[in-house]
C-alpha cells in the first residue's frame, strides 16, 4: 500500500487538517504537554494531518494548538474513562487505524495494562468489554487501534530502575554504581552506602512516586552528605511513599556530558532506526531536573551499537528513549534509564531526520515486509544537524555560548513548543512567559 508523504515545506496554519480524510490512519496521544505536541508535529510534518489528544485538563502547548483535536476527562487514569473515550474516537473515525501514544510513565503503564482491551475496541461492543453498563449488542468491526509497545512483563522489568540495572549488568551496558533502598523497611541511619558522597538518589519507579506529594519534592536529588540524606529521606518516608529508591554514585559533568538516545524497534524486535542528541541546556529548576531545554545532534556509533544490541536481545518493540552520560573518570558512557515511550523532547528525533510517524506507517499501514530472516533489514542512524530549544536562538547563545549554537544553520534551529505553522496568540504569550522563567532559573541555579 502506497502512502503519500507530505514533503513540501509547511508555510501556513490554514487548512491544517485538510488531508486528514485522505489517509487511512491517525495518531491518538494521551497527554497534552510538549511530548504530545511533538507527536502532533511529527504526524503533521509527514502527512499533513491532525492528531487527536486525550488529556485530564487543558495544558500548554496543545490547549490552543491547531494541530490537535482535544478530548478531556479528569479521571483518564481510570480504566472506564480511558476505554470510553477511545471507543468514542473509534466510532467517530471507524475507517482509520489509530496509533496510540503515551506521553508520560503513568499513561504508558495505563496503556500497557489495558493493551488487549484497547486493541479489541471496535471488534466487540464496548459496553460488554468495560463491564457493568448493560449487555449491549455486537458492534460492526472498525479499523481499531495499533498499540506499538511491549508487553506488561517486560515493562515491569524495565520501569523499575533496580531491575533495569540488573538487566544492564546481564547484557553488558555500563550504569552508575547503585544500591537499592526500600522506603517501607530500610532505616537511613543504619543503611550502608558503598560509595562516597555526593550521591544521587531517585525513585525506582516514577509511576508510584508521582502519586505522593510533600514539601521539597523533586524528580531526583543530589545529596552532599549523610545529614542531607536523612532530611530528604525523612520527607519521602514521612509522606508514606512505599516503594524503593535508588542511591547511586554522582557523576560529575556539565550539560555537554549528557546525551539522549532514541530508537524505533519493529514488531519482530529489530531496531530499524536510531537518533542521538547532546544536551545543550537542561532545566535548572530543582523539581524539573531531568528535563531538557535545548538539544543538538550527536552521534557515537559505539554507544549506538551497544544500546541497539541491548534492545534486540530483550525483544523491545516500539519507540524508546535512553538517558545517558559520559563519565570522564571511566572514559565511557553510563546509562541512567530507559523510557518506554518517545521522550518528552521527542521532536528532536524528527529534527534529526528520524520521523517515527513514517516508520510506523511504513510498517503497520503500508505493509512493509519485515518477516523472515533478513541479515540486512534497513537499519539507519539519523544524523541531520539540528538544535531544538525551548528558548530563542538569541537567548540560547546567551546561556551556552555562540560557538555551540552557531555550528548549526538557522534553518535547522527549531522550537520544541512553537511550530512556525501553528502560532496562536495565546501560545505565543505563554511561550514568551516560559522563556523568561527558563532563563531566570538558569541564572539562579547555574552555579
Q: Which superfamily is assigned to 20-147 in CATH? A: NAD(P)-binding Rossmann-like Domain (3.40.50.720)
One pLDDT digit (tens) per residue for the chain, 447 residues: 545 555 434 444 445 555 778 899 999 999 999 999 999 999 999 999 999 999 999 999 999 999 999 999 999 999 999 999 999 999 999 999 999 999 999 999 999 999 999 999 987 544 444 444 343 444 456 789 999 999 999 999 999 999 999 999 999 999 999 999 999 999 999 999 999 999 999 999 888 898 899 998 998 999 999 999 999 999 999 999 999 999 999 999 888 899 999 999 999 999 999 999 999 998 877 777 778 999 999 999 999 999 999 999 999 999 999 999 999 999 999 999 999 999 999 999 999 999 999 999 999 998 754 444 444 446 789 989 999 999 999 999 999 999 999 999 999 999 999 999 998 899 999 999 999 999 999 888 876
Q: Which CATH class is domain 255-445?
A: alpha beta
Return the C-alpha cell found at 32. Answer: 497534552
CA angle at residue 322 from 267 to 433, to 5 degrees?
115
Contact 275, 255 (CB under 8 A): no
Q: Give yes or no for a contact between 198 and 224, defined as CB atoms under 8 angstroms apart.
A: yes
Q: Where are the chain's structural domains?
A: 20-147, 177-249, 255-445
Instruction: Check if CATH label 3.30.1490 holds for domain 177-249.
Output: yes
Q: What is the pTM of this model?
A: 0.90
Count of Cβ atoms closer than 10 Å to residue 69 Cβ? 18
Cis peptide before 61 (omega within 30 of 0): yes
What Cα–Cα distance (Å) separates residue 106 from each residue in 31, 76, 103, 160, 383? Answer: 10, 10, 8, 13, 31
Q: Give the pairing of strands 221-223 and 199-203.
A: antiparallel
Amino acid at each position: 500500500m502506497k502512502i503519500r508523504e507530505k514533503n513540501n515545506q509547511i508555510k501556513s496554519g490554514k487548512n491544517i487538517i485538510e488531508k486528514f480524510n485522505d489517509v487511512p490512519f491517525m495518531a491518538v496521544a494521551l497527554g497534552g504537554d510538549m511530548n504530545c505536541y511533538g507527536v502532533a508535529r511529527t504526524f503533521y510534518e509527514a502527512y499533513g494531518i491532525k492528531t487527536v489528544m486525550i488529556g485530564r485538563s487543558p495544558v500548554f502547548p496543545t490547549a490552543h494548538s491547531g494541530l490537535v483535536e482535544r478530548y478531556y476527562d479528569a479521571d483518564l487514569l481510570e480504566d472506564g474513562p480511558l476505554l470510553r473515550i477511545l471507543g468514542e474516537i473509534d466510532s467517530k473515525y471507524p475507517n482509520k487505524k489509530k496509533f496510540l501514544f503515551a506521553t508520560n510513565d503513568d499513561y504508558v503503564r495505563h496503556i500497557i495494562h489495558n493493551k488487549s482491551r484497547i486493541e479489541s475496541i471496535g471488534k466487540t461492543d464496548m459496553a460488554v468489554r468495560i463491564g457493568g453498563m448493560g449487555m449491549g449488542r455486537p458492534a460492526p468491526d472498525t479499523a481499531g487501534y495499533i498499540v506499538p509497545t511491549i508487553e506488561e512483563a517486560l515493562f515491569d522489568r524495565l520501569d523499575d530502575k533496580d531491575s533495569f540495572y540488573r538487566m544492564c549488568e546481564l547484557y553488558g551496558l555500563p550504569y552508575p554504581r547503585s544500591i537499592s533502598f526500600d522506603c517501607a523497611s530500610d532505616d537511613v541511619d543504619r543503611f550502608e552506602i558503598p560509595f562516597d558522597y555526593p550521591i544521587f538518589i531517585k525513585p525506582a519507579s516514577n509511576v508510584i512516586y508521582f502519586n505522593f506529594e510533600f514539601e521539597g519534592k523533586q524528580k531526583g536529588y543530589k545529596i552532599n552528605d549523610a545529614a542531607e540524606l536523612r532530611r530528604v529521606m525523612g520527607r519521602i518516608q514521612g509522606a508514606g511513599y512505599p516503594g524503593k529508591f535508588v542511591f547511586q554514585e554522582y557523576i560529575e559533568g556539565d550539560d555537554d556530558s549528557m546525551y539522549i538516545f532514541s530508537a524505533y524497534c519493529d514488531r519482530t524486535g529489530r531496531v530499524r532506526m536510531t537518533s542521538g542528541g547532546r544536551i545543550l541546556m537542561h532545566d535548572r529548576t530543582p523539581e524539573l531536573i531531568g528535563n531538557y531545554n535545548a538539544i543538538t545532534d550527536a552521534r557515537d556509533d559505539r554507544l549506538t551499537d551497544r544500546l541497539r544490541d541491548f534492545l534486540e536481545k530483550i525483544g523491545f518493540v516500539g519507540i524508546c528513549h535512553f538517558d545517558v552520560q559520559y563519565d570522564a573518570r571511566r572514559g565511557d558512557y553510563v546509562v541512567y534509564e530507559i523510557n518506554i515511550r518517545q521522550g518528552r523532547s521527542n521532536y528532536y528525533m524528527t529534527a534529526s531526520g528520524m520521523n517515527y510517524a513514517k516508520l510506523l506507517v511504513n510498517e503497520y499501514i503500508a505493509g512493509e515486509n519485515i518477516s523472515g530472516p533478513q541479515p540486512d533489514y534497513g537499519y539507519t542512524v539519523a544524523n541531520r544537524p539540528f538544535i531544538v530549544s525551548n528558548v530563542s536562538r538569541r537567548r540560547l547563545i546567551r546561556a551556552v555560548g555562540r560557538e555551540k549554537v552557531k555550528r548549526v544553520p538557522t534553518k535547522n534551529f527549531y522550537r520544541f513548543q512553537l511550530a512556525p505553522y501553528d502560532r496562536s496568540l495565546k501560545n505565543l504569550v505563554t511561550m514568551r512567559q516560559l522563556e523568561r522563567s527558563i532563563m531566570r532559573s538558569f541564572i539562579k541555579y547555574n552555579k
